[in-house]
Structures are given as structure tokens and as C-alpha cells.
Chain A
Amino acid sequence: MHYKIDCGALRYLKVPQLLRGYIMFLNMSLSSFLQHLTNGISLGSLYALIAIGYTMVYGILRLINFAHGDIFMMATYFAFYAMVTFLLPWYISFFLVIVLTTLLGILVEKAAYRPIRNAPKISILISAIGMSFFLENLATVVFGGRPKAFPAPDIFTKIIHIGSISIQRLTIIIPIVTFVFLLFLLYLINRTKSGMAMRAVSKDYETASIMGVDVNKTISFTFGIGSALAAVGAIMWGMKFPQIAPLMGVMPGLKCFIAAVIGGIGNITGAVIGGFILGIGEIMLVAFFPNLTGYRDAFAFILLIAILLFKPTGIMGEKISEKV
């Protein structure tokens, strides 16, 4: 069946606009461009870390965990309270936060998703949305709606100068951490027994359970890892953008899911690639087309629709055949 592809949107990027962007590109100094690029890579890595959580859960349960963005938000609050109220040093706090967030993720799965695992897809999606709103409102009531200042330890926020670019130490640490975790995760999935269990369950969970895989444990494990990564992302996000609020997880959550879709949902490397495409793309959009800054968030959605229309399985995705 052939469907008309909607090119209407392109009409709005008028030619003068494009020309202006091109001129901007030519006039932009190398240092500005490199600055933009570094920022893009940094932002992209943060998106990647959170996108991995989405993609893992979707791979196993075919569920868009709308609450993932809010688990990310809760992690930032855990970190805040650990360091500010309990005055724990950062290395202890960070570790504690990861543990707590993992537990939260597993709890959410047990409470809201496990009971309706066999119900129609729509129910579980609604439950996810409901959980997301519940966490957001709970955070508003418990932590207060006013934004709080995230305590970033100086060791990370020190500014270093490379050539004419000035960046925080953090900006370099983030991509490195992301890559380390990506490698670790790939090893986990492909070389360990638990990883094999995860792959089995995501392929066909009934058969996997017949073959002796403890499906519930595997799913909990997946949620746990996804949440742990979200916690790492949350800590670094909090240090980079030191302001936390109950609704801070909404946009990043949506965008990271989109990143996962772009890269091929269910594929971890794809999620990372998607995260970088989104992060760098967003920054470049604002850099070259400053008049379109307002559309920055729309960029992610437009990319999403483009991918869904042209390559729905994403960049690294495999074809899904429909069984009749």
C-alpha cells in the first residue's frame, strides 16, 4: 500500500532561513563550532544513558516505560537529599543513589506492570502513564514544587580550557562514563548467562520460561539495570544542569525514548547512537538556526516521525515480521 508522505513541513524551512543557516555555518569560527560540538556530545551521552533503560525494557516487555523519565527525576532527588540533608560525601551518595534507584525501578515493575502483564497492551501502557504521573505528583507533594539546587562537587565542575574552548571537567567525563557502561552492558548481554536469559525472554518469553528461565527474575533484573543507568545519567545531569524539579523528567524522558526508537528499539548500541544523534542535532539546530530555538523540542519529535515513516525499525533495528 502506498501512502502519501507529508512534505508540508519542509515548506516552513524557507529558503532564506536555510541560506542564513549556511552563512552562519561559514561564518562560525572553528572554536565556536567545536564548542557546540563538545556540548552536543555531552548532551548526547546523557540522552544515551537514559535511552538504554527505555530500550532494554521495551526489548523485554514490549512496553514503553513512561515512568522511566520520572525514575530519572527521583534519582536526582535521592542524590540531593543524600548530599544535602544527610551530608554524605559524594562517592558514598552516588553509590547509594544507584542502589536506591535500582530498587525503585524494580518496585515500580512489581507494582504496576507485573499484575497486568497478560492484559491487552493498552492497559499496561495506561498503567505506565499513570505511574509516571503518580511519581511526578508524589514528588511535587513530598519534595515541594520549587526547584532545588543540585550540589555538584567541585571536582567535577572545574573549568578546563582546551585551546579556545572552555568546558567543565564534567563535559569530558560524561561521554567516557557512557562508553564504559555501554561496553560493560554489551559484555553483560552477550557473554553472561543473565544476559542470555534477557535475550531469550525478549525473543519469546513463553518459550524461555519453558526452557527454565526465571522470567520474573530476568525482567526485574532488566528493570534494575535500566534504572541503575538512569541513576548514573541523573547524577551527571544534575551536576551539569544543577537544578532539579519534580517535572524535570518529562521532556528528557520523551526525548530519550525517541532516541531509543531512532537507534532501533530493543538495541542497546542503537540507543546510544540515537542519543548522540538527538543531542548533537539539537545543539546544532539552535547553533545554526537561532530563530528556531523555540522549535528545539520539536526537533526530536520531527526526527521521530521521520524515522517511523521511513525506517520504523530504527537505524540498528531488525525487521519485525507480523505473525498472522
Chain B
Amino acid sequence: MKKKLAILLCVVMASTVFLGGCKKTGVNTSADKASSDVIKIGVFEPMTGGNAAGGALEIEGIKLANKLYPTALGKKVELVLVDNKSDKSEAANAASRLVEKDKVTAIIGSWGSGYSMAAGPIIKQAKVPTVATSATNPLVTKGNDYYFRVCFIDPFQGTVMANYAFTKLNAKKIAIVQEVSNDYAVGLAKFFADSFKKLTGDDKAILSVSNYNTGDQDFNAQLTNIKAQNPDAIFAPGNFTESALVIKQARQLGITVPFIGGDTWETPEFISIGKNDVEGATFSTFFATEKPITKESDKFLTEYRKEYSGKEPAAVAALGYDAYLILIDALNRVGSVDSVKLRDELAKTKDFQGAAGVINFDENRNAVKSAVIKEVKNGKFTFKEVIEPTK
């Protein structure tokens, strides 16, 4: 009985493979895409797993943009959402699925440089223009003509915080606590360290680099050692999940010096978990609601508050919004869904008025934008200042 079941299953499975899989002649012809009356834009984000928070925020922005600008080239724009499960091989699968099965015109994604990099080779080979939202590692776009990003990159972000620590905090010695299993954190820590050492002229300005793993919950050992070293400030790039606990435990141990970090801190959970202990935590990010930069920023803010009843948007939501807008804009300019033409048009984007700032792509397709420094004040993310990119 079971054997027959097995054979039956084999037959079923084989037939679905053949019937469902037969390729239409020709590869992704633009005729195919243009003949249908929707334009599909793929979105791959972490919707489950450890980074689901970041992914969810960006999807909010993307969906809002889709709601406000639902058409391009006279056709309806449809979003195809695929979960990369906060996992690199799933990210590659997700991109592959979007490109090969759903045959999307363009892709938006992903939160998390690691996942973007995993999808990179597939995107490059399939020649589908992709816009990364908040992935800041330089390797995402390097050498990949089809990958763009609407945010700045870590070498810049590292210098922003190093500058802040040196000039505003008057710090001469800093301890670093990094999430060693997160490529974003490790990269950012390195750029920060290099920049800070150059600023102070002191090779020993970084007192120590302590590591922790994703998912760790106990940082008392590392923090006790840091307390003994007496730094002027602590740079702690890492996901908000661990960073909130790091700061909390530091305060409990009696460490009073300021904590500085990167853009991944800006999520509601950072404050809800950190509570009073994260007061004063300062970090660099892409966008501040108090300082809308363009008319689109105002529109984004009003619409977001309406759509998500009173919630304040996170910076990455604005980036997701911009990624969508910039694609629509390029589509309308180029007048076709041909991937090569779209990519070239995208590269020509000049002074695009996005919600998170004015976007210009440099030769590596990275957005040259200003950074914003925010601080946690009275339980809210408050704007501190804008840092312009060095030309």
C-alpha cells in the first residue's frame, strides 16, 4: 500500500515538474513583460527570523509608496513579496524565485547587507535592476552593475560616528562592542575604528574590541572588562535586539559613559526593551521626521501617519518608500520595461527628491546622501544634527 503511494507520489511530482516547468521559448523577453498589463516589482525582505523587525518596517514604506503611486507607464504596478527568512541561502532562493519564476521587472531589497550580497550574483546574472534600501556594506553594489542603493555606505557611516565621538563627545579612548556574527556590525566597527584612529592620531585610541554573537543575551563579562578599561565612550554597532540589552546591562554594572551606534538601532523595540537605560544613546541614521528634507518627505510623513494610525516612521521605512519611487520614476522616464534600458536610466538619476533626502548615484551606484544623528531623549528618537557627505 505504502509502496504504491510512493510510486504515485513520484508520478505526480514528476508530472508537475514537467508540466509546470517547461520554459517558454526565449528568455525574459521584454515583449513578454510588456504584453501583460501589470508591472511586477519584486520585494525580498526578512519577514521572519531574527531580522523580521527591520524587514517589516521597510515593507511598510514600500507598500505605502505602492498605494500612493500605483501606476507606471499606464500600467498597474504589482508588488511580489518574498521572505528571505533572515537567512542568506533563503535570500538567494528568494531572489532566484523572483527572477526566474515571477519574472519581475525590478527588485527592491533587502534589509541586511548579508542578504543583499547573497542575492547579488543572481541579480547580476539575470540582469534585473535592483535597489537596496538600507544595506550599507560597500560590497553590495561593488562590481555589480545592476545593484543600486538609496542609502549611504558604511565607510561614510563609520566616519560620521567617529567624527561625532571626537568632536562632540570629546572622546579620546573608545571601546568597541561588536556583533561578530553580523557582517554589517563588523564592517561598520572597522570603518569606525580606522576613522577614529586617524582623527585622534592615536593608534591605541580603540581600547578594545569585544565580541558577542547574534542571539547572545548575557554581556556582563565583556562589559565588566570594559568598565575596568575606563573608556570615554562605547561604540556598539549591532542589531537592536542585542544592543538594547548591552546598554541595559552596562548601566546596571554602573557604566555611565555614552553609547554610540549605527542605523540598526532605530526600531521601536530598542526603546521598549531598553527603557530608561537607553536614554542618551546616539546613532547615525538616514532620516529624521523632525527634519523633512524635501516635499516628498512631508507627503511621506503625512501619509504614513494616516495609514499607520499615529505611528512615527522609522528611517528604513522612508528608504523603502524611496526605493519604490525611484524605480517608478526611472520606468516612466525610460518608457519601457527592458531591463538593460531601465538600469541605464536608473544610473542617470539626478537630484531625485526622495522622502529620505536627495538622491544622486555615484560611480558605484551608491546614494550620496547626508546622514542624520539621532539621540534617544525622553523615550523617543529625537533629531540631533545633519552631517553632509564629504565630496
Q: List chain A positions with a Cβ less than 8 A from chain B.
A: 28-29, 32, 35-36, 39, 43, 140, 144-149, 159, 166-168, 241-243, 245, 247-248, 251, 282-287, 290, 293-294, 296-297
B317 nearest CB across to chain A (Å): 15
CB neighbours (8 Å) of A28 from chain B are: 228
Give the distance in Å from the alpha carbon of A11 to the alpha carbon of B248 in the complex: 37
Partner of A166, one of B241, B253, B273: B253
Q: Are B221 and A36 in contact (CB under 8 A)?
A: yes
Residues of A contacting B227 in the complex (Cβ-Cβ under 8 angstroms): 32
CB neighbours (8 Å) of B269 from chain A are: 146-149, 243
Interface-centre pick from A35, A36, A247, A287 (highest chain B CB count, 10 A): A35
| Contact A39–B210 (Cβ < 8 Å) | no
Does B272 touch A at the CB level, under 8 Å?
A: yes
* B349 touches A (CB below 8 Å): no
Please tell me if the beta carbons of B217 and A243 are within 8 angstroms of each other in the complex: yes
Q: Which of B50, B224, B245, B253 contacts A241 (CB 8 A)?
A: B245
Contact of B215 among A168, A251, A293, A294 (CB under 8 A): A251
Asked whether B50 lies within 8 Å of A145 as measured between CB atoms, the reply is yes
What is the CA–CA distance of A200 and B292 in the complex, to the nearest angstrom? 72
A283 to chain B, nearest CB (A): 5
Whether B310 sits at the interface, judged by CB under 8 Å, is no
Q: What are 11 contact pairs spanning A and B, CB under 8 A?
A: A28-B228, A32-B228, A39-B221, A145-B47, A166-B253, A241-B217, A241-B218, A243-B244, A282-B221, A283-B218, A287-B224
Report whether A293 and B53 are in contact in the complex, using a CB–CB cutoff of 8 Å: no
Is the beta-carbon distance between A32 and B225 smaller than 8 angstroms? yes
Query: A147 is contacted by which of B86, B221, B273 (Cβ under 8 Å)?
Result: B273
Residues B218 and A39 in contact, CB atoms below 8 Å apart: yes
Q: How far is the CB of B127 from chain A (nearest CB, A)?
A: 32
What's the nearest-Cβ distance from chain A to residue B224, in Å? Answer: 5
CB pair B241–A147 under 8 Å, yes or no, is yes
Q: Would you call B245 and A247 a contact (CB within 8 A)?
A: no
Decide yes or no: A39 and B228 within 8 Å by CB, A149-B269, A251-B215 being known contacts. no
- CA A248 – CA B50 in complex, angstroms? 10
What is the distance, in angstroms, from A37's C-beta to the closest C-beta of chain B?
Answer: 10
CA distance A242 to B245 in the complex (A): 8
Q: Contacts A147-B269, A149-B269, A166-B252 given; 19 further ones with Cβ under 8 A? A: A32-B224, A36-B224, A39-B218, A39-B220, A39-B224, A145-B48, A145-B86, A146-B52, A147-B273, A148-B269, A166-B254, A241-B217, A241-B218, A282-B221, A283-B218, A283-B221, A293-B222, A294-B181, A294-B211
User: Closest Cβ of chain A: how far from B189's Cβ, in Å?
Assistant: 14
Instruction: Name the CB-closest residue of A to B228.
Output: A32
Q: Are B211 and A245 in contact (CB under 8 A)?
A: no
A294 to B178, CA, bound (A): 11
Q: State whether the Cβ of B180 lies closer than 8 Å to any Cβ in chain A.
A: yes
Q: How would residues 207 to 221 of chain B score, 1 for a CB under 8 Å from any chain A CB and 0 otherwise?
A: 010111101111011
Task: Enumerate chain B interface residues (CB-CB to A < 8 A).
Answer: 47-50, 52-53, 56, 86, 180-181, 208, 210-213, 215-218, 220-222, 224-225, 227-228, 241, 244-245, 248, 252-254, 269, 272-273, 275
Majority DSSP secondary structure for residues of B touching A: helix
Q: Which of B210, B225, B245, B253 contacts A243 (CB 8 A)?
A: B245
Q: Does the CB pair B210–A144 fall under 8 Å? A: no
Say yes or no: B224 contacts A35, CB within 8 Å.
yes
B220 A243 Cβ-Cβ under 8 A? no
Residue contact B228 to A287, C-beta cutoff 8 Å? no
Which residues from B are CB-within-8-Å of A251? 215
Q: Is the CB of A287 within 8 A of B248?
A: no
The answer to whether B272 and A149 touch across the interface, beta carbons within 8 angstroms, is: yes
Instruction: Note all chain A residues with C-beta closer than 8 A to B254.
Output: 166
Closest CB in chain B relative to A2 CB, distance in Å? 37
Question: In the assembled complex, which residues on chain B have CB atoms less than 8 Å from the CB atom of A248?
Answer: 215, 217
Bound Cα distance from A294 to B220, whole angstroms: 15
- Across-interface contacts of A145 in B (CB, < 8 A): 47-50, 52, 86
Q: Which residues does chain B contribute within 8 Å of A168, judged by CB atoms?
A: 252
Contacts of B181 in A (CB 8 A): 294
CA distance A243 to B225 in the complex (A): 23
The one of A43, A167, A297 in contact with B213, judged by C-beta atoms closer than 8 angstroms, is A297
Q: In the assembled complex, which residues on chain B have CB atoms less than 8 Å from the CB atom of A297?
A: 213
Residues of chain A within 8 A (CB-CB) of B210 are 290, 293
From B180, which residue of chain A is reached at the shortest CB distance?
A294
Beta-carbon nearest neighbor of B53 in chain A = A146
B221 touching A286, Cβ below 8 Å: yes
In the bound complex, CA of A68 to CA of B59 (Å): 35
Query: Which residues on the A side are within 8 Å of B222 (C-beta)?
Result: 286, 290, 293
Q: Once bound together, how far apart are the Cα atoms of A283 and B219, in whole Å?
A: 9
Which B residue sits closest to A243, measured CB to CB?
A: B273
Q: Decide: A35 near B213, CB < 8 A? Known: A144-B52, A145-B52.
A: no
Nearest first, the 5 closest Cβ-Cβ pairs linking A and B are A286-B221, A145-B52, A241-B217, A149-B273, A149-B272
Q: Which residues on B sit within 8 Å (CB–CB) of A245?
A: 50, 241
CB proximity of A85 to chain B, nearest CB, Å: 14
Assembly CA distance A242 to B252 (angstroms):
13
Cβ contacts under 8 Å, B212 to chain A: 293
When distances are taken between beta carbons in the complex, the residues of chain A under 8 Å from B272 are 149
Please state if B252 and A159 are interface contacts (CB–CB under 8 Å).
Answer: yes
Q: Which chain A residues lie closer than 8 Å to B49 at the CB level?
A: 145
In the assembly, what is the distance between CA of A285 and CA of B245, in Å? 20
User: B211: which A residues are within 8 A, CB to CB?
Assistant: 293-294
Say yes or no: B215 contacts A43, CB within 8 Å: no
A187 CA / B215 CA spacing, docked (Å): 37
Residues of B within 8 A of A243 (CB): 217, 241, 244-245, 269, 273
Give the CA-CA distance A166 to B252 in the complex, in Å.
7
Shortest beta-carbon distance, A236 to chain B, in Å? Answer: 13
Q: Which residue of A lies closest to B248 (CB)?
A: A242
> Which A residues are CB-close (under 8 A) to B56?
146
Q: State in angstroms the CA–CA spacing of A147 and B217 once bound together.
A: 12
| A287 to B181 Cα, complex, angstroms | 20
CB distance from A303 to the nearest CB of B (A): 17
CB-defined contacts of B252 to chain A, threshold 8 Å:
159, 166-168
Chain A residue nearest in CB terms to B51: A145
Chain A residues with Cβ below 8 Å from B241 are 147, 243, 245
A29 to B208, CA, bound (A): 18
Interface centre among B52, B215, B221, B272 (most CB of A within 10 A): B221
